Structure 1
Amino acid sequence: MTSFLRMISGIFLLTLICACGGGGGSSGATSAASTKPVLSTSAPSSINIINGDPAQTFTIIGGVPPYDAKPANKGLSVTVVGSTLTIKAIASGTSSVTVTDNVGSRVTIAVTMGTGVPLFVSINAINVAVGGNSSVITIGGGTGVGYTVGSSDTSVATVTTSPDGSAFIVNGAANGPATITVTDSLGTAVSVRVVVGTGVKSSSITSGNVIASSVATKMSLTPATVTVADDNGSTHSLNLSGMTAPFRVYNSNPSLATLTIVGDNSNSASTSNTINVAPGPITATNKSGRCVSQDTAVIFTVIDSLNAVATSTMTIKAGGVGC
């Protein structure tokens, strides 16, 4: 009987130990990693960084510290200090940054190193006199660096580029047509149609069925510059003049600014000429929609239907008490 009671007591004790998670090790508590928030960052899922601009900083959230981050290629410089992630473009192209924590969780940010604006030229077709030169044609957008300009027929038309490669003129050599092709460092290309002829007036610009002087296609965007504090959540307006509708608007940093065209901008008869600039999306780490760790420039670019270009720069000053 005593032996039977001892056996029953042993079974009961063994069951109790198993229910408590065993002796000496875990008491059955959930691991620290499983109770941590999911690893994430304050960065959007995809970002655009202009080569040569100041680095962008973001906050790593959740997961299990310490953190690490690696770029997909040498086009980016990436550092992590504590929970601060810093990304800087040192080349043009596309890449990504993968952030990992101490238990192997990871999150990836897609990165485009460029202007955030499609490659464009200020004139898409032009007539040039034999022996004459065109007006200056500017290049913008695309990767922002490494532009190359070439002629399809140098016996008809040649090009002279500016020292920084951001503009060129077409030189008329002989009667005939030619195509000037502008290519950025990623291989994206746009072209300018050229007709060279005797008696042709240089710098006439043809765009579709519209013929205008180069002066008529000039456009302005005001104010050209504006400075705001990073905890300023107000909206300001940009006003267009001298543009030919419809127009396209580009924003170099959508995480810090939201653009809205006021009125209709759908066709050539549209009269809209105002763009509202509001803060970017509000997040846990961007309480005003404009919070930055250092003074940051956001560039707004407008291109009208004749490829005239105008820009405005908003400088966000860091250090506001509301961020």
Structure 2
Amino acid sequence: MTTGSALSPGRPWRERLTAWAPILLLAPSLGASLIYVFGFTLWTCWISVSSSTLLPQYDFVGFKAYVDLWSHQRWKIAYGNLLTYSAAYVLVSLALGLALAIAIDQRIRAESGWRTVFLYPLAVSFVVTGTVWSWLYSPDAGIEFLVRRLGWMDFDFRLTTHRETALYAIIATGIWHSSGFAMALFLAGLRSIDGDVLKAAAIDGASTARIYRRVILPQLAPMFVAVAVVLLQFAIKTFDLAVALTGGGPGISTTFPAMFVYDFMFQRGQIAIGAAGAITILAALAIVLVPYGIWSTWWARREAAR
């Protein structure tokens, strides 16, 4: 009785500490994240409507920086490159990732080895990927050099040195880097489909192509959306891959919005225009993420209602 009465006053305190421990542990990182994300986002918004040049100014001049931004030829080229890159990068990565997932889902030999091979590029940063592929594209040490050493002296593989092909070289490199990621998610989706449904469709006489078209692919619709959203985020924030491959060249032919923002904010001292570009990139991300968040919430409620 004495022991129980002595411990009983301490029990509520310990329970409260146990309940608050996760919050106390996460509070510093959450507070820093809130300041870093929301605080600096608001600061960037204010700078974008100020007259800041080399140093921040906190006056209000309206949307002059945005007008100057969209009047700048380099920004127009950068945004056009982003649209082209995003469309090709996402669509081809989705198609190639799905094809690889379907191939691996056939219970092939050494499946784990193939998964590792296709997933390996994802473990490498975009900087390393761009650096390695820049060697492959180099006429002095890459594929062109090797083929010419074999006797084909007219062979030309200088993709990153021609304005017409440099952007497509970046697209091809990005697809190589991310198609394995799409493959892994699609493979997980394929393995989660109920096998009884597939057996029932096969018993009814449906061909393999029809089963994929009418049964499997519709059930992968949420996975398609999720993978596309993640790839779009990668595309919108493209910076290090293009810098490592082409540095934005030849000329400004492969400039991307993130490169434009970095150049104007940290190289040219045009902080207001750079901040306007950063907010424009953030708006592009919001256009992708906000509808996806609304859709995913609706989909989760719909599945729960079933």
Larger relative strand fraction: 1
| TM-score (normalizing by structure 2) | 0.22
| Bigger relative contact order, structure 1 or 2 (CA pairs below 8 A, ≥6 apart) | 2
State which structure, 1 or 2, has the greater radius of gyration over its C-alpha atoms.
Answer: 1
